[in-house]
Structure 1
Amino acid sequence: MDRSRIFQLTSLLLTYPDDELLAAGDELRAAAAGVDGLESFVDWLLTTSPIEVQRHYVQTFDLRRRSGLYLTYYLHGDTRKRGMALLMLKQRYRAHGLRLADGELPDLLPIVLEFAATAGPGDGEAPLRQHRQGIELLRAALHETRTPYAMVLDVVGELLPQLTDADREALTALAFDGPPVETVGLDAVGMGPNLAPYAEVCK
């Protein structure tokens, strides 16, 4: 499977598992065939009761700050820099014809993955590379809670550049210190994670 199709599939699998998604079982199995991790994840998704899958998604991504899907928070916290990063993402999307629905934030990981799938490996994957550290912290958080969603993040991580020594140092600093804090009226831009538990994971 080529990169764009993997990004498209992982984008879909990281969205809320509503009835429409769960009803597309045959299509999901076919799309995941041959991709280690995604086959196992789709099997879990389709063999677990819908109510339990939906409850698990909410508990994993909506109720745990440490595993939020909003990537800019990991690097910028609630600061003016985050607001600028969100604006730049929106402008990048518009330049490629991707329009967000009302209320959607451009740093939500499924949207970033969708953009990578549609805009290609150059400009399309740039936001994923820019937020490589946040993706790694999210992956570590999902592994700690042993959620099947960690398998999806593993697949995404395999397609991104390897972490450098500088990346690992930055990850350790983020895990110890957390993201910057600056109250600027950004309460509605997505709940961010508590990174402190992952200082050891990122070493």
Structure 2
Amino acid sequence: MSGKIQVTYLAAGWCLSYPDAELLARVPMIRAALSEFPAALAPFATVLDNLENTPLLEAQAQYVREFDLGKRHALHLSYWTDGDTRRRGEVLGTFKNVYRGSGVLVDTHGELPDYLPMVLEYAATVDLAGGQELLQAYRPSLELIKFGLQRDNLPHATIVQALCNTLPGASPADEQAVMRMAGYGLPTESVGLDPYDPRLLPTTGV
């Protein structure tokens, strides 16, 4: 079972990352690795098909529209729980400490340490248990990312659902259920931008 989870995490980390020539070259390998496990490939099939059949520049533009131009599908886990607050700095330090505690030098590639693809790659290649603890701690963030992707009919939603399926317990039915599961309220001490409230997600637009 751990082998399937590690392959799922690594494949998801790559598929949720900005597409480049290296990622396109990995698509056959991703397909082959996922195909070793029953039903593991299905959640990734549409994204992999799109990567293979879309010109790279167009795929990159799509990714920027979907993940970089707005916060509806933000892939930084603590953004969903702490917004742009002073508390978030402490949370990011927690992610860094987990990476340092592994004894392995983790290259952040200029990203914040709570960037979901980075957490997934860490779990898949360095410390599965430690990585899963981070994912479980931020399960509400995963669920909210998934709901945002579903609402906009984006194929990455099934990949994030596959990630949620590797964690204990069933997924909440909707965003309000996620908030109840998480048991947290709004961040109140902001720095710069207002704290982000997942309960006020827009229903249309970016």
Verify same fold: TM over 0.5.
yes
Name the residue aligned to 2:6: 4
Pick from 124, 128, 139: which aligns with 1:132? 139
TM-score (norm. length: structure 2): 0.80
Equivalent residue letter for 2:141 = G
The answer to which of 98-107 and 1-10 deviates more is 98-107
Name the residue aligned to 2:72: 66
The answer as to 2:198 corresponding to 1:195 is yes
| Structure 1: 5+ residue stretches without partners | none
The answer as to 2:164 corresponding to 1:157 is yes
Name the residue aligned to 1:49: 55
Instruction: Identify if the C-alpha distance between structure 1 residues 159 and 76 changes in structure 2 by more than 3 Å, giving closer, same or farther.
Output: same
- CA contact 2:84–2:196 (8 Å) conserved in 1: no
Name the residue aligned to 1:114: 121
Alignment deviations for residues 6-55 of structure 1 (CA, whole Å, 9 cap, x no partner) = 11111111110012211333223212325221133212221222222111
Instruction: Identify if the C-alpha distance between structure 1 residues 178 and 73 changes in structure 2 by more than 3 Å, giving closer, same or farther.
Output: farther
Alpha-carbon distance between aligned partners in 1 of 2:65 and 2:202, rounded to the nearest angstrom: 22
Equivalent residue letter for 1:11 = G
- CA contact 2:13–2:120 (8 Å) conserved in 1: yes
- CA contact 2:80–2:197 (8 Å) conserved in 1: no
Name the residue aligned to 1:171: 178
Alpha-carbon distance between aligned partners in 2 of 1:168 and 1:145, rounded to the nearest angstrom: 15
Pick from 4, 16, 39: which aligns with 2:45? 39
Instruction: Identify if the C-alpha distance between structure 1 residues 90 and 168 changes in structure 2 by more than 3 Å, giving closer, same or farther.
Output: same
Equivalent residue letter for 2:111 = E
- CA contact 2:83–2:196 (8 Å) conserved in 1: no
Q: Hey, which bits of structure 1, 4+ residues long, moved more than 3 A?
A: 167-170, 196-200
The answer as to 2:22 corresponding to 1:20 is yes
Greater RCO, CA 8 A, separation 6+: 1
Alpha-carbon distance between aligned partners in 1 of 2:54 and 2:135, rounded to the nearest angstrom: 30
**Percent identity of paired positions between Structure 1 and Structure 2:** 34
Over aligned residue pairs, what C-alpha RMSD do you find?
A: 3.1
Query: Which SS does the other structure have where 2:100 is aligned?
Result: helix
Pick from 58, 71, 82: which aligns with 2:88? 82
Quote the offset at 1:60 in angstroms. Answer: 0.8
Equivalent residue letter for 2:106 = R
| Structure 2: 5+ residue stretches without partners | none
Alpha-carbon distance between aligned partners in 2 of 1:49 and 1:179, rounded to the nearest angstrom: 41
The answer as to 2:94 corresponding to 1:92 is no
The answer to which of 118-127 and 145-154 deviates more is 118-127
Quote the offset at 1:179 in angstroms. Answer: 4.3
Alpha-carbon distance between aligned partners in 1 of 2:163 and 2:70, rounded to the nearest angstrom: 21
TM-score (norm. length: structure 1): 0.81
Query: Which SS does the other structure have where 1:67 is aligned?
Result: coil
